[in-house]
Amino acid sequence: MIKIYHNPRCRKSREGLEILKNSGKEFEVIKYLEEIPTEKELSEIINLLNISPIQLVRKTEKIWKETFKGKELSDSEIISAMIQNPKLIERPIVINNKKAVIGRPPTNILEII
């Protein structure tokens, strides 16, 4: 089953959702600001994306700039920061079986569906 970690207020996330709708495939929408991933889930997503945790952080968010920017943080601390402040998680994230992409640009999603 395809999953999209979605923020309805984000234009890129809405565009990614449209790509999935137009694909005709079944998918599950996870509004990650309401259904915050656990540390284990977020770690698994990062592994599927094959990136380091810092690459999933939205560094332009006010909370990042005011609280975390310029600090030496471990991967675990970065994951904790994203769980405590889910707005920091880049979006949308689409997972299909053992493949995952960040939908920036949204056309990245086409690679795995």
Annotated catalytic residue, options 5, 6, 7, 10: 10
Known catalytic residue: 10?
yes
What pTM does this model have?
A: 0.95
Distance between CA atoms of residues 81 and 95, nearest Å: 22
What pLDDT is recorded for position 65? 97
Arithmetic mean of pLDDT, 72-90? 98
What pLDDT is recorded for position 89? 98
Contact yes or no for 5/97 (Cβ under 8 A): no
